């Protein structure tokens, strides 16, 4: 070894001794690495989560769209927990004469979404694997949402707090049995087992279009609206005979025509017994979306359901410490670097209903989806 | 490798190699060596499904550190071309009195070498890696490593002579 090589080696050794590293630093770094890694893992199933959320939301809002009679179909398809799967008699016919499906059930939810399966809330995750052949089969009238926009609309307006529904939005009620059927095996321990998503027997399908176009221009946090750990009732059990969602304000109206403005649709991770563990935000502006996108039923790929990381229940740990998010490069975040343990989680769409945010209540809308984070 | 096994492996790697990798990044010219190594561990954690064993993981970490340091040094070079960086704090009289070795001068000269020469010298004379391993880490042939070592030493000698002169 030459003199220069010795000097070089000595210099390296000297530099090595000069560098100080906190002996405990590696533990901090390790925790951060694991937290970020788990966030990445969560990110991998974020898409299924979003798909699940979108599907459920589409089902809800699509059903709402159908119930509004946008195509001049005055028919309502109430969704009630105690009803069978009898399709209501339509009060009008679709303008295009498209055939109607009258027995769409929550089984139409595509459970084969990667990484997310709808399943019983209390079931063993290993037994709730999705079945590929249960993907939704849309009836021929799928496009009726968009085609419905040109159909005549009922002119019977509803009111809400002195505010008139737009004439174009028909508010109808019905005593007909709901067209929702129960979702086999799906149960949250609350409400009932009928976890079918609101659907419209008029439209006859899940509306894959027309709901997520109502992307909120501003969002609110559901945090605080839905106390962590509180049971999440089924929207159908609270709004029996859900009949009409009409017009620009996105109201849900029950059979007594009590309008319940949809203040937001969000996504929540729930516990096995159906309580909210962690909440994300959703559409805060559903109450102010314009009628046009609703009626036309357009779907814009860049207007997917936004989910932002919001809630975090400080009194809960683990499961409760995460929040779903989407968009803007956001990922599942755990405040204070609390890690999301690998495992199965349940999530569902929540709908915030109420006269105003101060008096809003949240309800579950649709199935509870099982998600895996690993 | 299961998740828990990987976590244990990461913990062991952290405990055993974190500091050494920080020194490696520092000697290679990274101004934020700890961040570089932290990023390397993050990538290791993300790639846990592809890891075979601890040896492979360590080699993987070393490779990441080298690559990340290259990127960082390149960034610093670009930053310097756009404007002078603030001068490092000058050593006080006490520091100069205590520092009787020329280690800092050598390291300073090392950092003025071309990155490929610096990498070869650090890997060879600090990590004592064989030329074959250096070649694998640098993604070059063994002959190129020999060339880098030789030319790097020549360049370093020149810089040190200039400093003395």
Per residue of chain B (165 residues), give pLDDT as tens.
566 777 777 778 888 888 889 889 888 888 878 888 888 888 887 777 777 777 788 888 888 899 888 888 877 777 666 555 555 444 544 444 445 567 788 888 888 888 889 999 999 888 888 899 899 888 889 999 999 999 999 999 988 888 766
- Find the radius of gyration of the CA atoms of chain B: 18
Contact B101 A10 (CB under 8 A): yes
A251: buried, middle or exposed (CB in 10 Å: 19+, 13-18, 0-12)? buried
Select, from the ranges A68-77, A150-159, A160-169, A267-276, the one with the highest average predicted confidence (pLDDT).
A267-276
Treating both helix axes as pointing N-terminal to C-terminal, what angle do B33-46 and A25-44 enclose, rounded to 10 degrees? 40
Residue A104 Cα distances to A52, A64, A76, A210, A269, angstroms:
17, 14, 14, 18, 26
**Angle, nearest 10°, between helix axes A25-44 and B3-27?**
120
With beta carbons under 8 A apart, name residues in chain B contacting A12: 27, 107, 122, 125-126
Q: Residue B153 and residue A29: Cβ atoms within 8 Å?
A: no
To probe the interface with A, which of B26, B41, B152 has the most A CB atoms within 10 Å?
B41
Mind telling me how many Å the CA of A37 is from chain B's nearest CA?
A: 6
Using beta carbons and an 8 Å cutoff, which residues of A are at the interface with B?
A: 2, 4-5, 7-16, 19, 21, 25-27, 29-30, 32-34, 36-37, 40, 342, 374
- Residue A323 DSSP code: B
Min distance A30 CA to chain B CA atoms (Å): 7
| pLDDT score recorded for residue B114 | 87
Cβ contact B18–A33 (<8 Å): no
Q: How far is CA A190 from the centre of its chain?
A: 18
Q: Are strands A259-270 and A343-353 parallel, antiparallel or unpaired?
A: antiparallel
Q: Could you give the CA distance from residue A113 to residue A111 in angstroms, rounded to a whole number?
A: 5
Q: Closest residue of B to A19, CA-based? A: B23
Distances from the Cα of B51 to the Cα of A31, B43, B158, angstroms: 19, 11, 43
Task: Say which range, A100-114, A261-275, B86-100, B138-152, has the weakest mean pLDDT.
Answer: A100-114
CA distance B51 to B13: 13
Distance CA(A63)–CA(B105), nearest Å, equals 75
ipTM for this model: 0.77
Alpha-carbon gap, residue A308 to A218, rounded angstroms: 11
| Confidence (pLDDT) at B72 | 80
């Amino acid at each position: 070894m030459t003199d220069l090589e010795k000097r070089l080696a000595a210099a390296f050794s000297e530099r090595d001794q000069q560098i100080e590293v906190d002996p405990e630093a590696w533990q901090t770094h390790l925790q951060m690495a694991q937290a970020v890694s788990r966030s990445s893992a969560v990110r991998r199933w974020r898409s299924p989560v979003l798909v699940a959320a979108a599907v459920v939301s589409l089902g809800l809002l699509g059903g709402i769209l159908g119930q509004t009679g946008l195509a001049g179909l005055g028919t309502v398809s109430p969704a009630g927990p105690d009803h069978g799967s009898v399709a209501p008699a339509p009060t009008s016919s679709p303008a295009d004469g498209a055939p109607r499906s009258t027995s769409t059930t929550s089984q139409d939810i595509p459970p084969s979404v990667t990484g997310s399966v709808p399943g019983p809330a209390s079931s063993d995750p290993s037994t709730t694997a999705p079945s590929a052949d249960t993907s939704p089969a849309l009836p021929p009238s799928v496009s009726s949402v968009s085609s419905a926009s040109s159909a005549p609309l009922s002119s019977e307006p509803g009111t809400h707090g002195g505010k008139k529904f737009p004439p174009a939005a028909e508010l109808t009620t019905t005593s007909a049995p709901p067209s929702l059927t129960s979702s086999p095996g799906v149960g949250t321990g609350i409400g009932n087992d009928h976890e079918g998503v609101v659907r419209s027997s008029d439209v006859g399908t899940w509306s894959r279009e027309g709901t997520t176009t109502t992307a909120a221009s501003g969002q609110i946090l559901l945090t605080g609206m839905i106390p962590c750990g509180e049971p999440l009732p089924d929207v159908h059990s609270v709004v029996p005979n859900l009949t009409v969602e009409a017009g620009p304000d996105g109201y849900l109206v029950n059979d007594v025509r009590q309008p319940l403005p949809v203040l937001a649709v969000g996504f929540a991770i729930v516990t096995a017994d159906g309580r909210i563990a962690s909440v994300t935000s959703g559409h805060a502006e559903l109450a102010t979306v314009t009628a046009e996108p609703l009626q036309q039923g357009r779907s814009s790929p860049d207007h997917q359901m936004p989910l932002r990381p919001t809630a975090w229940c400080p009194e809960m740990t683990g499961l409760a410490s995460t929040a779903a998010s989407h968009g803007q490069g956001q990922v599942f975040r755990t405040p204070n670097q609390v890690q999301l343990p690998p495992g199965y989680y349940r999530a569902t769409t929540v709908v915030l209903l109420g006269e105003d945010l101060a008096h809003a209540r949240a309800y579950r809308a649709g199935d509870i989806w099982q998600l895996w984070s690993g | 490798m299961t998740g828990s096994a990987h976590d244990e492996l990461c913990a062991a790697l952290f405990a055993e190699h974190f500091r050494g990798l920080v020194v490696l990044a520092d000697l290679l010219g990274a101004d934020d060596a700890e961040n570089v190594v932290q990023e390397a561990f993050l990538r290791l954690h993300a790639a846990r499904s592809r890891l075979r064993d601890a040896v492979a993981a360590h080699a993987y970490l070393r490779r990441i550190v080298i690559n990340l340091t290259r990127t960082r040094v390149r960034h610093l070079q670009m930053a310097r071309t756009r404007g002078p960086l603030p001068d490092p704090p000058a050593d006080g009289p006490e520091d100069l009195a205590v520092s009787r070795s020329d280690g800092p001068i050598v390291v300073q000269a090392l950092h003025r070498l071309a990155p490929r020469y610096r990498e070869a010298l650090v890997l060879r004379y600090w990590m004592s890696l064989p030329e074959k391993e250096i070649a694998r880490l640098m993604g070059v042939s063994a002959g190129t490593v020999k060339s880098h070592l030789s030319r790097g030493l020549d360049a370093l000698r020149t810089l040190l002579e200039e400093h003395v002169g």
